[in-house]
Homo-oligomer: A and B are copies of this chain.
Amino acid sequence: MYPNLLVKRASLTPNRSAIIFEGRRWTFSQLKQEAIDFAEKLHMLGINKGMRIAILASSNPQLVTVLHGCMQLGCELVMLNERLTEEELLYQLNDSQPDVLLVDGLNRSLMYVNRLSFDEIIAAPNKPIKIDSEWSKDRTITIMYTSGTTGNPKGVRQTLENHVMSATGSALNLGVHPNDCWLCAMPLFHISGFSILMRSVLYGMTVSLHTKFNAEKATEEILNGTVTRMSVVAVTLERIISVLEERNLAIPDTFQSMLVGGGPVPLNYLERAIARNIPVLQTYGMTETSSQTTTLSSEDAIRKLGSAGKPLFFADIRISGEKEKGEICIKGPHVTKGYVGAASSKNPQVDGWLHTGDIGYIDDEGYLYVVDRRSDLIISGGENIYPAEVEQAIVKHKAVKEAGVTGIKDDTWGQVPIAFVVLKGQVTEEELKSFMKTQLATYKQPVGYYFIDELPRNASNKILRRKLHEYL
């Protein structure tokens, strides 16, 4: 058992700021009150403890209240990604079968059998609930979808223990200061954003919440000392560096750590970051590990360039296989215990180890190097794109026989997807682009289509995606 995180935090430091958003502040005590109020309204509308709630909303304090409210009621959260298409969202809803879908005030077109808007809930009267002072470690807090090699996104269960041990492991690594404030410009439906909320209640730490990443605004908060920590991906890091370079400024020593996740960071960015006094910490993490597994300290940023660092205190890693390079396997209390929906019978762990599909090696000082992300993963602006998922969408077009998708380098996003298509009918690149807009989130849509006669395949008929570049 762990304590009810928000209630415990509000009892320890009621008057400390929990959230800052556009000049407004919420203390932990206020956040708790608002969360319980929301939970009581949800309860009046028929939502009970143990139910599963899907949420589609933008990052703002209202969403924070909603998330904490659902947790206070004892519900599981299915965190839907705003950037997905209706088709993709419906897949996740059908797979996770939530009891209700909650949407924010934006004009969302997504329909679902039980759908409530935040406003409808807020208008409801309250029905008192029993607040649990303790929560079970194995309770599922969140479900986040991530694709695998098969192309079908899988709903990853993140338990309370996963989140707590991830946050405590991170605290032992990065330290915790009484005046810490974490700038969250990552979406809250991503583990990168949601994990900041978890750290906030565990550490008693303020979150400066941004709905969207804005380089000027973020840099300003870093410069004026409002925030001491931030999570970024390579592309957002580069934008902050650019702002600092334009203004010829370095950031103050009070800033503690810039965690860079979601894929490799170009050497050039790291060097430029260090020139601006940014304490860059490269990390390796994923939805299945509720955020970071390894982190490279800023002292080692240059000496161990390209490394994702060492595993956090409660985490362990090993390389599977006979060779020096092999599949990265992860162990620890932050690793998911399993999936929901279609994948629920799959066990993510083999003998206690999560097999990530990512390829890497560990040097003789114990530092991890990630050589290749799993399953030809394309990482674009920190978002994972699974080629198989894009390929499945393309072949839904009646003129397409088969498709192979791979990533190419992009100055802004790191990588963008392109597609190689074998036709069985007539279709133009423009027609395919327009078709794909109905199928997949913008960032997953290939930026180019190449028509070829045959896809490169291995003996067992698997597409050799890395060979696709030869057709360019």
* A residues at B contact (CB < 8 Å): 2-3, 8-9, 11-12, 133-134, 168, 171-173, 175-178, 202-204, 310, 313-314, 316, 366
Contact = CB atoms under 8 A, between A and B. Distances in A.
A3 B176 CA distance: 21
Contact of A171 (B9, B133, B172, B366): B172
A310 B204 CA distance: 14
A175 B175 contact: yes
Given A3-B314, A168-B171, A175-B176, 5 more contacts: A3-B313, A3-B316, A11-B366, A12-B173, A171-B176
A310 B176 contact: no
A11 B310 contact: yes
A202 B366 CA distance: 18
Contact of A172 (B133, B134, B168, B316): B168
Contacts of A173: 12
A175 B177 CA distance: 5
A133 B366 CA distance: 14
B203 A172 contact: yes
Given A3-B316, A11-B366, A172 B310 contact: no
17 contacts: A2-B314, A3-B316, A8-B313, A9-B313, A12-B173, A12-B310, A12-B313, A134-B316, A168-B168, A172-B176, A172-B203, A172-B204, A175-B175, A175-B176, A175-B178, A176-B176, A177-B177
Contacts of A9: 313
A215 to B, nearest CB: 28
Given A11-B366, A168-B168, A366-B11, A313 B175 contact: no
Q: From DSSP, what is the main secondary structure of chain A's interface residues?
A: mixed
Contacts of A8: 313
Contacts of A316: 3, 133-134
A172 B202 contact: yes
**Most interface-central of A133, A203, A310, A313 (chain B CB within 10 A):** A313
A178 B202 CA distance: 19
A13 B173 CA distance: 10
A424 B171 CA distance: 63
Nearest to A169: B168
Nearest to A11: B366
Contacts of A168: 168, 171-172
Nearest to A204: B172
B176 A313 contact: no
A171 B133 CA distance: 22
Nearest to A5: B313
Contacts of A2: 314
Nearest to A201: B313
Contacts of A310: 11-12
A310 B11 CA distance: 8
Contacts of A204: 172
The 4 A-B residue pairs with the shortest CB-CB distance, nearest first, are: A175-B176, A168-B168, A11-B366, A176-B176
A256 to B, nearest CB: 9
A9 B311 CA distance: 11
Given A11-B366, A177-B177, A313 B202 contact: yes
Contacts of A11: 310, 366
**Most interface-central of A171, A172, A204, A310 (chain B CB within 10 A):** A172
Nearest to A175: B176
Contacts of A176: 171-172, 175-176
A127 B389 CA distance: 55
A68 to B, nearest CB: 17
Contacts of A313: 3, 8-9, 12, 202
**Most interface-central of A171, A173, A175 (chain B CB within 10 A):** A175
Contacts of A314: 2-3
Contacts of A3: 313-314, 316
A164 to B, nearest CB: 9
A365 to B, nearest CB: 8
A89 to B, nearest CB: 36
Nearest to A309: B12
A3 B366 CA distance: 15
A174 B9 CA distance: 14
A133 B318 CA distance: 12
Contacts of A171: 168, 171-172, 176
